[in-house]
Chains A and B, each alone.
Chain A
Amino acid sequence: MPPSFEVSRRSLKWRETRHLLLTTAPGALWIVIFLVLPSLYLVSMAFMTNGPYGQPGMPLSLDAFRQLAGFGFLGWSPGNLYTLLRSIWQTIVATGLVVVLSYPIAYYITTCRASLRPIMLLAVVVPSWTNQVIRTFGWMNLLAPETPLSDAAQFLGLIPEHMGLFPSSFAVTLGLVYNFLPFMVLPLYAAFEKLDTTLIEAAIDLYASPMRAFWAAVFPQTLPGLLAGVVLVAVPAFGMYVVPELLGGGRSMMIGNLVAGQFTGASNWPYGAAAALLMLAATLIGIFLLRRLGKRAGGGEEVVI
């Protein structure tokens, strides 16, 4: 009886689609309404003109982008370009430091007793569960003038007398490293745990030096985890607002502060929206490049972000 079979198959397919819609549509719509639509509104705002009271309006123009590129009343200034480059540079430095600091720790945890490992991982992660404002406040207290750390730095001649270690670019880097270190330890640990040690034995059997064995047999195996960690660290570090705002001065401003400044103090929403677009574009380009790198390094294995 082919006709009824056909009908039941179609109704089955419809039921499956209905099921898919019933389960995923409410949450998906929520994200569309409260994130996608607002983002599209923000995009459109970048093409509006700033009104006399800082509210966006007609006519459409590219003024915000001109301003973002550095053209103001007084001609061209490289300030915003520097802010963008500084953000990229801070992200690269902080991510690099995080990789160097996390790599031995992730390895060390895998060499410890299996019953200890969850506790050790938790010990690394717990500080990042506290609020980032509190963590940064802790560093402000530590790096302020007349604290042991600042006194030591003065003694070594690193900073002038009666100054603290913050506000400074150094403090911003430190804050970024501190905030995102656990995000690197977790994926690296997962990579180390899956490590195929027979490859190392093979390398040693072939009289590879420990260095050579590491680069040939260990490092490539941990690379997917490392790249996943780089995404987890670099993306939020690039968009960081709290750390540079509290630990950095005017000369360590990052792009997040440039964006936020247009919505809090000096209200210029179209200009801020254009800066936010630039930030979003840079973030997406970064993720895209890292994913391509990850696919190549992981031999087709998808790097989960």
Chain B
Amino acid sequence: MKRGALKRALGIYWWVLLFFLYLPLAVVVLFSFNSINSAAIFESFSLRWYYRLLANDQIMSALWHSIVLAMSSSVIAVLLGTLIGYGLYRHRRRGLGWLIVLIYLPIVMPDIVFGIADMTFFVRINALTGWLAPGLGPMILSHVTFEIPFVALIVYSRFVGLDPTLFDAAKDLYASPVKRAWHFIVPAIKPALISAFFLSFTLSIDDFVISFFTSGPESSTLPIYIWGAIRKGVTPEINAIATLMIAAVIVAAIISLLVTRRRPQTPPEGR
């Protein structure tokens, strides 16, 4: 029974790996309920840090900035990225090499170079014209830039998975291009649009480096606030806010699992 032994060893290894993956998150969650300000000794259960969180205006405004940034950048990125995805699909027989390179550029560009390039560029534009002062505006512009490729690729792969004769059917019915787009194309790719929106949203909430360099003093997002608190060594409420962010991710994961369960034909996506 050598094969059985291998399978059992792999099974044990699986749980060890999961332990490794969830340990740092579990520590953050556990100590968010600590009654004293310590990351080493757990004294007793308390919701103290959560109350302090609600009273902390800086954290609340950082949360608000994170949500505004993720929402607005995802909406714009889904619009522009879907158009690109459709264009890529319709004209896939043409040589679109330059476009593919352009679309992959934000993905392969190291975050730090991306952030610094945008920061210096925005500072320069601001010095010349007075536009794009550091703040949420430039942050949205940057976030849209790195979200577009993911939307385009998701939408494109959805189109590839569709039956191409459906397009001709819509044309045969003499539908105008706008009507075709609204009544036929959008419903057909709706699952891809939803997952593209959620992926954009997650990417935006997850991003620290690019936000960090393009933000201004009045536009800190949650990761930027957390970063600052860690650097300053003042971290009591950090565990609590981090726990809420982890909880949000786990809820999102469960929703995505339920959605993909319902639609087994949707191709798997993700970074």
Contact = CB atoms under 8 A, between A and B. Distances in A.
Contacts of B205: 131
A130 B223 contact: no
A121 B142 CA distance: 30
Interface in A136-163: 137-142, 144, 146-147
B80 A20 contact: no
Interface in B216-233: 222-223, 226-227, 230
Interface stretch (A31-39, A62-70, A76-84, A195-203): A31-39
A41 B7 contact: no
Interface stretch (B56-64, B107-115, B160-168): B107-115
B175 interface: no
Q: Please report whether the interface of chain B is mostly helix, strand, loop or mixed according to DSSP.
A: helix
A162 to B, nearest CB: 13
A105 interface: yes
Contacts of B245: 130-131, 134
Contact of A111 (B10, B21, B235): B10
Given A30-B145, A142-B24, A178-B24, A130 B249 contact: yes
Contact of A259 (B17, B86, B113): B113
A302 to B, nearest CB: 11
Contacts of A297: none
A213 to B, nearest CB: 13
Interface string B17-31: 110111111011001
B230 A140 contact: yes
B119 interface: yes
Q: Please report whether the interface of chain A is mostly helix, strand, loop or mixed according to DSSP.
A: helix
B46 interface: no
A35 B115 CA distance: 9
A294 interface: no
Contact of B21 (A137, A178, A259): A178
A24 B253 contact: no
Interface in A100-114: 101, 104-105, 107-108, 111
B106 to A, nearest CB: 6
A126 B105 CA distance: 26
B83 A23 contact: yes
A141 B24 contact: yes
Contacts of B7: 108, 111
A123 B119 contact: no
Contacts of A124: 17-18, 21
Nearest to A20: B91
B39 A122 contact: no
A71 interface: no
Nearest to B90: A19
B209 interface: yes
A133 B230 contact: yes
Contact of A280 (B31, B113, B252): B113
Nearest to A126: B253
A288 to B, nearest CB: 11
B257 interface: yes
A2 interface: no
Interface in B179-236: 202, 205-206, 208-209, 213, 222-223, 226-227, 230, 235
Contact of B270 (A123, A125, A147, A287): A125
A220 interface: no
B155 to A, nearest CB: 11
Query: Max chain B CB contacts within 10 Å: which of A23, A42, A107?
Result: A23
B69 interface: no
B102 A41 contact: no
A36 B110 contact: no
B206 to A, nearest CB: 5
A279 B238 CA distance: 32
| Interface range, A side | 35 or more
Contacts of B86: 23
Given A27-B152, A105-B17, A279-B113, A35 B118 contact: yes
Nearest to A283: B110
A107 B117 contact: no
Interface string B71-106: 000000000110110111011001000010011111
Given A27-B83, A35-B145, A135-B24, A104 B10 contact: yes
25 contacts: A19-B91, A20-B91, A20-B94, A24-B87, A26-B80, A27-B81, A30-B145, A34-B144, A35-B145, A42-B117, A118-B257, A118-B268, A121-B268, A122-B257, A124-B17, A127-B22, A129-B252, A132-B208, A134-B245, A137-B235, A144-B39, A146-B40, A246-B230, A273-B120, A276-B113
Interface of B: 7, 10-11, 13-14, 17-18, 20-25, 27-28, 31, 39-40, 80-81, 83-84, 86-88, 90-91, 94, 99, 102-114, 116-122, 124, 141-142, 144-145, 148-149, 152, 202, 205-206, 208-209, 213, 222-223, 226-227, 230, 235, 238, 242, 245-246, 249-250, 252-253, 256-257, 260-261, 268, 270-271
Interface of A: 16, 19-20, 22-24, 26-28, 30-32, 34-39, 41-42, 45, 101, 104-105, 107-108, 111, 118-127, 129-135, 137-142, 144, 146-147, 178, 181, 183, 186, 235-236, 238-239, 241-242, 246, 256, 259-260, 263, 269, 272-273, 276, 279-280, 283-284, 287, 305
